[in-house]
Amino acid sequence: MDLDIRTLFAAHALVSTTLGLLMVAFWRAHRGLPGLGLWTLGTVLLGLALIGVVTRGVLPDLITIVLGNGLGLVGMAAFWNGIRLFGRKPARWKAVLAAIGVVEIAVAYHTYAVNDVPARIVVTSALMSGICLLCVQELLRGPVRRFRTTSATAAFLFGFVGVTLAFRAASVALLPPDAGLFTPTTAQAVHFLVSLISNILIVVALLMMAMQSLKQEVEARSVELEAARSRAEQASRSKSEFLAQLGHELRTPINGVLGFADLIRTEACGPVGDPHYREFAASIHDSGEHLLDLINEVLDHAMVEAGILKLEEDSVDLAATVAFCTGLLAPRADQSGVRIAWSVAPAARIVRADEKRLRQILLNLVSNAVKYTPAGGGVTVTADLDPATGLRILVEDDGIGIEADDLSRVLEPFGRTQRGRARSVEGIGLGLPLTKRLVELHGGRLLLESAPDRGTRVTAVLPAGRVLVPAGMAPGESPARRPADGGDPAARNQDGWSRPVTA
C-alpha cells in the first residue's frame, strides 16, 4: 500500500489532538497531580504543531512553519518539565526556551532568507532529540524508583523517539534529500509512522504513571485515615473511661453523704436531741439528691455528646414504666397542687427500649410538666401506636407554656426560657436536650408544641417497629381490653398552639 506522507501527518495530527483533548479531560479531574498539567499542555501543543505541518502551503509559513515548529518544541519542553514536577523537582524553562529561541531564529532564517527545508529539519529534529534525551534522563533519575516498569517504559519510548530524531537529523545533514518535507520516501514514511506510534505510547505511559501516583496517594491517605480513626477511637475510649471514672468518683462520696444524712434524719442510731438537727439532716439529704441528679444529668449529656452512650435494649412494659415514673413524681405534684393522669394503649404496651433511658425520658418530661404548671393544673401522659407515625409517648400540661421564640432554644443545652415564672424554677436546662438525644438514640424524634399560658405538649415519636406484639395477639390485631391508665387524660384544644419544633 502506498502511503501519502501528508495523509500520515494528518493521521498523526488527528491522533495527537484527540490525545490532547483526552489529557485535558483527565487533567481537569486530577488538577492536583504534579506534572499532569504540563504533560497535557505538551500533548495539546504537539497536536497543534502537527496541524501546522499538515496545513503547510495552505496557511502562511509564519503559522505553519515558524509557529508550528515553535509549538512542537515548547510541547516537548513541557513534557520534560512535567516529568521534573512529577519527580518533585522544580521546572526549568530558561535554558530550554533559550535553545528553542535560537532554533526558531534558524527556522525563520531558513524559511524567509534561504528556503532550506533540510536545514530546518536538521535543527528542529536535533533539538527535539535533545529534549527527548533530557526526558529519558529525568525519568531514569526521578520517578523510576517509584514506578519502575512504567517510567522505564516511558524512558525507553522517549529514548527511541530521541534516537530516531537524531538519526533523522544526521541523515538529512549528511545526505540532504532533494525534495521537501512531504516527499514519499521509505525513510520519511518509517520515521513518521514510528513517531506517530511512539507519541501515543508516550502519552499512555505518562498517564499510567499518573494513575499509579494517584493510586499510591489514595493508599497513603487510607493509611493516614486508618491511623486517624484508631487515634479517634483511642481518644473516645479514654474519654469514656474518664467519664465513667469521674461519675464513680463523684457519686461515691455523694451516696455516702446521702446515706449518713438519712441515718441522722431517721435517727437510726438513736435520738439526735435537738429536732433542728433532724431538719438539717433532711436538708443535707435533699441537697445531696439534687446534686446527684445534676451530676447524672451532666455526665449523661457529656456521654451522649461524645457518642459513647450505648443503649441496653430489652423488652419493656411501657405501662409499668409510666406508672413508675408518675408515681415517683406524684409527691412533688401533690405538693404543687398538680394532678397527674396517664394512659397507655394496649397496642403500645410492650416496647423494645433501654428501660433506664426510657424512665429518664419520662421523668424529664413529666418533671418539667409538673415544675412548669401552677397549682390547680393537670399533667397527662398518654402512649399509643399509630401505624403511620409510630409509637407516640405524649406528655402534656396546662401550665405556663413556652413562647414561640424560645421553642428551639429550650432544646439546646442550657437553653432555659427567660420568662419570670420559668426563671424562678430550679434547673440547669439539660433535661430537654438530653431527652431529645435519648429519643434519637432510640431512632425517634422529639416534638415540642406550646402555647404561652395554656400549656405544653411534648411528644416522643419512636419507630413503630419498637412496639412488640404481646404474646397471643396477632400482628395488627386491635386488643379489646381497656387501656392501662392512671386517670382520665384531659382533652386539649388545638387552637393557638405552636407548630411542633424538633430541633
* Contacting positions for ligand ATP (CB under 6 A): 297, 364, 368-369, 372, 397, 399-402, 410, 416-417, 422, 427-433, 456
Nearer to ligand ATP, 131 or 402 (CB): 402
Least distance from C-beta 429 to Mg ion, angstroms?
A: 8
Least distance from C-beta 248 to ligand ATP, angstroms?
A: 22
Nearer to ligand ATP, 7 or 418 (CB): 418
Nearer to ligand ATP, 17 or 287 (CB): 287
Residue 416 site contact among Mg ion, ligand ATP, none (CB < 5 to 8 Å, cut-off depends on kind): ligand ATP
Least distance from C-beta 300 to Mg ion, angstroms?
A: 13
CA 318: distance to chain centroid?
38
Which residues are registered as beta bridge partners of 458?
Answer: 395, 448
The count of residues interacting with Mg ion (CB under 5 A) is: 2
In 3-state terms, what secondary structure has residue 110?
A: helix
Distance in angstroms (rounded) separating the CA atoms of residues 397 and 383: 15
Q: Which of positions 354-373 make contact with Mg ion (CB under 5 A)?
A: 368
Least distance from C-beta 306 to ligand ATP, angstroms?
A: 19
Nearer to Mg ion, 368 or 382 (CB): 368
Assigned C-alpha cell, 341: 393522669
Other C-beta atoms lying within 10 Å of the C-beta of residue 490: 14
Across 130-141, b (16+ Cβ under 10 Å) vs e yields bbbbbbbebbbe
Residues in the chain: 503
Residue pair 153/200 in contact (Cβ under 8 Å)? The answer is: no
Nearer to Mg ion, 118 or 399 (CB): 399
Least distance from C-beta 243 to Mg ion, angstroms?
A: 21
Least distance from C-beta 430 to ligand ATP, angstroms?
A: 4
What element of type H or E holds 483? none
Nearer to ligand ATP, 52 or 401 (CB): 401
Strands of the 339-344 sheet, one edge to the other = 445-451, 455-462, 390-397, 378-386, 339-344, 484-485
By CB under 5 A, is residue 431 in contact with Mg ion?
Answer: yes
Residue 428 site contact among Mg ion, ligand ATP, none (CB < 5 to 8 Å, cut-off depends on kind): ligand ATP
Across 184-198, b (16+ Cβ under 10 Å) vs e yields eeeebbebbeebbeb
Residue 369 site contact among Mg ion, ligand ATP, none (CB < 5 to 8 Å, cut-off depends on kind): ligand ATP
Interacting residues with Mg ion (CB under 5 A) = 368, 431
